[in-house]
Amino acid sequence: MPRATIGVIGGSGLYRMEQMTEVEEVKVKTPFGDPSDVITIGKVAGVPMAFLPRHGRGHRINPSAIPVRANIWALKSLGVEWVISVSAVGSLREEIAPRDLVIPDQIFDRTKSRVNSFFEQGIVVHCTFADPFCPTLSKLLLETAREQGDVKVHAGGTYVCMEGPLFSTRAESNVYRKLGMDIIGMTALPEAKLAREAELCYAMIACATDYDCWHTSEESVTVEMVINNLSANIANAQHILQRVAERIPAERSHVNCDCQHALANAIMTDRAQIPQAVKERYSLLIGKYMS
Ligand SMILES: CSC[C@H]1O[C@H](OP(=O)(O)O)[C@H](O)[C@@H]1O
Ligand SMILES: Nc1ncnc2[nH]cnc12
């Protein structure tokens, strides 16, 4: 299997990495079923990168049905340490206009029916999740995005993750604004949680495509609106991915961030009481903590 330390999860509008060379397609099997699609591994700006479209090519998978555990597990098993999510979002702020980019720093959970953890039975794990995005990777994305010049980039912001697939009501949209949320989407969770449990550094390029439905002088969000604004957004995001690839440290162990040690103090269960079968099932994630 080819390997890469950088993984990109493409959202709405990003189903392939056009600038990737030496491309190989890999089908990864995981204990949690098949990922959303084959993973393409190749080089971007000479740097190995893995790419997975979260809704599958052709946008076949609903936000609530994305096999997120399989996606994150598959990336981890290919050697990925850094995950960049590209996501379409609605704006809940006047100053975040459609086609702007946001590098968010917080998430608020409004999902209802999602599996949020790898760990089911036989082991109890509580990871710290106060800061859901990796500060190191977010800073790199922000600096790189700011060099784009022709696009407005917002530093930080709270992404409210709704269940979907319908967009919000106007009442919900207004409440999110009052609560201090900045952008809205349907996919950051459980992706960010599972990335944390897998000790991956996870950050997001959020592409604002619409003003959701709170804005009194703009039309309420439609898929057509999202698609029209996405093409410009995705072109910008692809440039950023190309530039950031060269800047991501080759050796993550030299970086001062907690993501890579997320399980170090999180496993509650007495090691002697974790069944051998559970240790083996999760060895990709917990193996280094079991000896
Ligand atoms: C097509 S608009 C709604 C859709 O777009 C976003 O997806 P992603 O985060 O994968 O770019 C949003 O979360 C919804 O899934
Ligand atoms: N307004 C919106 N609500 C939820 N997800 C979105 N993705 C893009 N725009 C969105």
Flag whether 212 is marked binding.
Answer: yes
Residue 115: per-residue pLDDT: 97
Distance CA 39, CA 116 (A): 22
Distance CA 204, CA 157 (A): 11
Pocket lining: 221 vs ligand 2, CB cutoff 6 Å: yes
Residue 172: per-residue pLDDT: 98
Pocket lining: 44 vs ligand 2, CB cutoff 6 Å: no
Residue 1: per-residue pLDDT: 85
Distance CA 130, CA 153 (A): 23
Closest-CA residue to 277 (of 31, 67, 70): 31
Pocket lining: 5 vs ligand 2, CB cutoff 6 Å: no
Find the mean pLDDT for residues 157-183: 98
Find the mean pLDDT for residues 112-118: 97
pTM for the full predicted model: 0.98
Residue 155: pLDDT band (50, 70, 90) is very high
d(CA 30, ligand 2 centre) in Å? 30
Which residue has its alpha carbon closest to ligand 2 atom 8? Answer: 89
Closest-CA residue to 198 (of 146, 125, 149): 125
Closest-CA residue to 63 (of 12, 16, 15): 12
Q: Can you give the three-state secondary structure of 98-152, one letter per residue? A: CCCEEECCEEEEECCCCCCCCCCCCCCECCCCCCCCCHHHHHHHHHHHHCCCCCC
**pLDDT single digits (tens) 245-274:** 999 999 999 999 999 999 999 999 999 999
**pLDDT single digits (tens) 26-82:** 999 999 999 999 999 999 999 999 999 999 999 999 999 999 999 999 999 999 999
What's the complex ipTM?
A: 0.99
d(CA 32, ligand 1 centre) in Å? 23
Q: Which of 169, 182, 183, 209 to mutate to test the pocket of ligand 2 (most atoms within 8 A of CB)?
A: 209
Q: Please identify every residue annotated as catalytic.
A: 210, 212
Structural domains of the chain ordered from first start = 6-289 (3.40.50.1580)
Find the mean pLDDT for residues 96-111: 98
Distance CA 264, CA 199 (A): 10
**Side chain identity at 290, as an amino acid letter?**
M
Pocket lining: 208 vs ligand 2, CB cutoff 6 Å: no
